[in-house]
Amino acid sequence: MPRGLGGPLLVSPMATWMVLFFLAPLFLIFIYSFGYQGVYDKSVKITLHSSDNPEKDGVYSIQSLHNYRKVISDPLYFKAFYKTVGMVVGNTLGCLILGYPLAYFISRKSGKRKMLFLLLLMLPFWTSFLIRTYAWITILDGTGLLNTFLTWVGVIDKPLGILYTPWAIAIGLVYDYLPFMALPLFVSIEKIEPALFEASKDLGAGRWTTFRRVTLPLTVPGIVAGCLLCGIPTTGEFVVPMLLGGDKIVVWGSSIYKAFLAYRDQALGSALSNILLMVMLAVIVLYVKLWGTEEF
Amino acid sequence: MTDIVNSQAPVGRREKIRLSWWDSAMKYGDVGIAVWAWLMILFLYLPIVVLIIFSFNQQRLNVKWTGFTTEWYWMEQRSYGVGVLHDADLLTAFWNSIVIGVLSTILAVIIGVLGAFALERFEFRSKTVWDGLNYTKIIIAEIVAGVSTLIFFVKVQEFFMDYLGWNIFPLGFRTVLVAHVAWSIPFVVVIVRARLKGFDKALEEAGSDLGSTPTGVFFRITLPVIAPGIFAAALLAFTLSFDDFTTTLFVTGPQFNTLPLIIWSKVRMGITPEVNAISTIMVLLSFIIVTILEVKAHISDDIA
């Protein structure tokens, strides 16, 4: 491959954009998370000298862990943390269980039909997830379609209150993230040499044994990639929990939303975002260490 | 292929491996998987169908079907609402989304294609850094990028206003545009790189052997070959920008709304037939466009 100035020259617009509008902002929230938000003057103060009375002076030292202390000591954030963990694990497992048979089914189709099913899988992805999440309100609401249907069939006598519970969040999330799991799974099932199934069969293995000893081990990279693509973005999710979970269920993403748009405390919001960022980066680094960058 | 999996194993061999209960249950596995897959397809489309049906419902307050109407589309301002085609805020926001979408796509595609070339065709020291940065940007939760870009814009604006009196980043059109470009670039790079990977370099060599200049080779050979990749990347970049909610929510100012922001403010109030009507229009538009492009792509594949 050619060396010289060509590469750096071509990459420079992208590099500039990424450094200015991605890296620099991340660095800024890192700094801000140690800052102190004035009560009257709404700009965040950050100084290098420490102040013993930040409330009065309106400044706080850069070594200060003020915001982090607030996050750790407030049980609200602890609750938000474990609810977020539950949400991420639930969504990832849900997508995996629902998506694996679907990916398997599509990968066994041939030619045109395979393309048709892939198109069917990807089509909803091209519309706004806000709209797709909203659609579930119509279905899950107390007077919504699901309840009307179940009452009509006679399964239940009084409406199920699914909307504004963790179940509603789970349904909405799995719905939004299913293609992100199914696609990498599809790719890795596709890659398996058909002769391997044949060999397994010839050696006397049944279907379950073939799945457990051949298909599953060979699709581990797809499973891991799918879990990463579903799991990591879910950590910061706030739209689905806010729309389908109501105001009672507060997750990490919605507490960041509130810090910025309700209390207007940018320093606290930065600390919350920074914690989230560190967790996500740790998972990404772990993945790269374990699996390398090939599977992306 | 399914026949291979289904066919019986040689009898002599079968005695050696004990088939588990699951193995016998899996005889019906194909049917089970097919049923499951169709249920998943139903799961993916049911909410969208419901949304479309209820955009024609007369009832305003809940999802009880009371009769067919198209007034949520055409109706002029009334005391109880307005049809989406007469909603001024909505139409402005729609126009804003289109403008931002088109401009950010053009910028992201230019910057992304150059970047993809650099990463795929050249060797230089910082390559892995930009590569890693791209993937990180794609995968991390958007809210972090959103709030950090907000703080960045506020700080830059403050700095330029205080020291130079330049109003360069007022929250609104410009900040949304810049943030959307940053959001789309990594996706463009990934798609165009994939296309470049499968590129037969002999074509380019033939071009230069036949006396074409490097610029000529680029415009007459390389560009036409990777054009489908660029087109796919542009389509994705436009969709990402047009549908973007999280980043826009944080980096925009009070004067500048895009369509998803308007939808959010309406959805927060609960179910409304207007939102169903907007959603129906958006869903049908994107379905029609994507399906046409997909079908066209496969028809041309078949010809080639």
Chain mean pLDDT for chain B: 85
Whether A73 shows a pLDDT value over 80: the answer reads: yes
CA distance B77 to chain A (A): 24
Which residue out of A186, A196, A207 would a mutagenesis test of the B interface target, given it has the greatest number of B Cβ atoms within 10 Å?
A: A207
B291 within some domain: no
Whether B154 shows a pLDDT value over 70: the answer reads: yes
Cβ pair B267, A239 in contact under 8 A: no
Summarize pLDDT for B96-127 with one digit per residue, the tens: 999 999 999 999 999 999 999 999 888 888 88
Whether A292 shows a pLDDT value over 60: the answer reads: yes
Report the CATH number that the domain containing residue B242 is assigned in CATH.
Answer: 1.10.3720.10
In this predicted structure, what is the pLDDT of residue A46?
60
When mean pLDDT is compared over A198-202, B170-174, B209-213, the highest value belongs to B170-174
Whether A38 shows a pLDDT value over 70: the answer reads: no
Q: With an 8 Å Cβ cutoff, is B40 touching chain A?
A: yes
When mean pLDDT is compared over A37-41, A122-126, A238-242, A292-296, the highest value belongs to A238-242
DSSP secondary structure letters along B109-173: HHHHHHHHHHHHH---TTHHHHHHHHHHHHHS-HHHHHHHHHHHHHHHHHHHHHHT------TTH
- Give the HSE-up count for residue B153: Cα atoms under 13 Å, Cβ half-sphere: 26
Cβ contact, residue pair A127, B48, below 8 Å: yes
pTM comes to 0.87
Residue range A243-248: average pLDDT? Answer: 88
CA distance B110 to chain A (A): 9
Return the amino acid letter for A270.
Answer: S
Range of the domain at B232: 91-270
- Residue B1 — pLDDT band, cuts 50, 70, 90? very low
Whether B235 shows a pLDDT value over 50: the answer reads: yes
Return the amino acid letter for B122.
Answer: F
Q: With an 8 Å Cβ cutoff, is A2 touching chain B?
A: yes
User: Minimum mean pLDDT among A37-41, B191-195, B222-226: which range?
Assistant: A37-41
Q: With an 8 Å Cβ cutoff, is A152 touching chain B?
A: no
Q: With an 8 Å Cβ cutoff, is A130 touching chain B?
A: yes
For B140-274, strand residue ranges (E) read none
- Sign of the Cα torsion A223, A229, A233, A237 reads negative
Strands A44-45 and A36-37 turn out to be antiparallel
Which chain A residues are closer than 8 Å to B9 by Cβ?
201-205
Whether A158 shows a pLDDT value over 70: the answer reads: yes
- Residue B16 — pLDDT band, cuts 50, 70, 90? low
Helix axes A75-107, B29-54, angle to 10 degrees: 120
> Which residues 202-231 of B are in CB contact (within 8 Å) with A?
none
Q: Which two tokens stand for residue B87?
A: 């909603």
Q: Which two tokens stand for residue A254?
A: 């919605």
Q: How many domains does chain B have?
A: 1
Q: With an 8 Å Cβ cutoff, is A289 touching chain B?
A: no
B152 within some domain: yes
In this predicted structure, what is the pLDDT of residue A186?
94
B34 within some domain: no
- Residue B62 — pLDDT band, cuts 50, 70, 90? low
Tokens 């545009």 -> residue: B177
Residue range B225-241: average pLDDT? Answer: 91
In this predicted structure, what is the pLDDT of residue A41?
55
B243 within some domain: yes
Tokens 């954030």 -> residue: A77
ipTM above 0.95, yes or no: no
Q: Between chain A and chain B, how many beta carbons pairs sit less than 8 Å apart?
A: 316
Could you say which of A2, A17, A28 has the minimum Cβ distance to residue B151?
A28
Whether A102 shows a pLDDT value over 60: the answer reads: yes
Q: Which two tokens stand for residue A37?
A: 């938000």
Q: With an 8 Å Cβ cutoff, is A204 touching chain B?
A: yes
CA distance B23 to chain A (A): 5
Which residue out of A34, A45, A109, A138 would a mutagenesis test of the B interface target, given it has the greatest number of B Cβ atoms within 10 Å?
A: A138
User: Minimum mean pLDDT among A88-92, A290-294, B106-110, B292-296: which range?
Assistant: A290-294
B21 within some domain: no
Cβ contact, residue pair A28, B25, below 8 Å: no
Cβ contact, residue pair A208, B294, below 8 Å: no
- Sign of the Cα torsion B78, B80, B82, B88 reads positive
In this predicted structure, what is the pLDDT of residue A48?
43
Which chain A residues are closer than 8 Å to B245 by Cβ?
128-130, 239
How far apart, in whole angstroms, are the C-alpha atoms of residue B72 and residue B69? 8
Could you say which of A26, A101, A243 has the minimum Cβ distance to residue B36?
A101
In this predicted structure, what is the pLDDT of residue A105?
92
CA distance A126 to chain B (A): 6
Q: With an 8 Å Cβ cutoff, is A40 touching chain B?
A: no
- Sign of the Cα torsion A82, A84, A87, A88 reads negative
In this predicted structure, what is the pLDDT of residue A266?
86
B33 within some domain: no
B102 within some domain: yes
- In this structure, the number of other CB atoms found within 10 A of the CB of residue A5 comes to 10
Return the amino acid letter for B78.
Answer: R
Q: With an 8 Å Cβ cutoff, is A25 touching chain B?
A: yes
Structure-model confidence comparison of residues A207 and B302, the more confident one: A207
Chain mean pLDDT for chain A: 85
CA distance A55 to chain B (A): 22
B221 within some domain: yes
Cβ contact, residue pair B33, A101, below 8 Å: yes
Q: With an 8 Å Cβ cutoff, is A18 touching chain B?
A: yes
Cβ contact, residue pair B40, A99, below 8 Å: yes
In this predicted structure, what is the pLDDT of residue A138?
83
- Residue A60 — pLDDT band, cuts 50, 70, 90? very low
Cβ contact, residue pair B142, A236, below 8 Å: yes
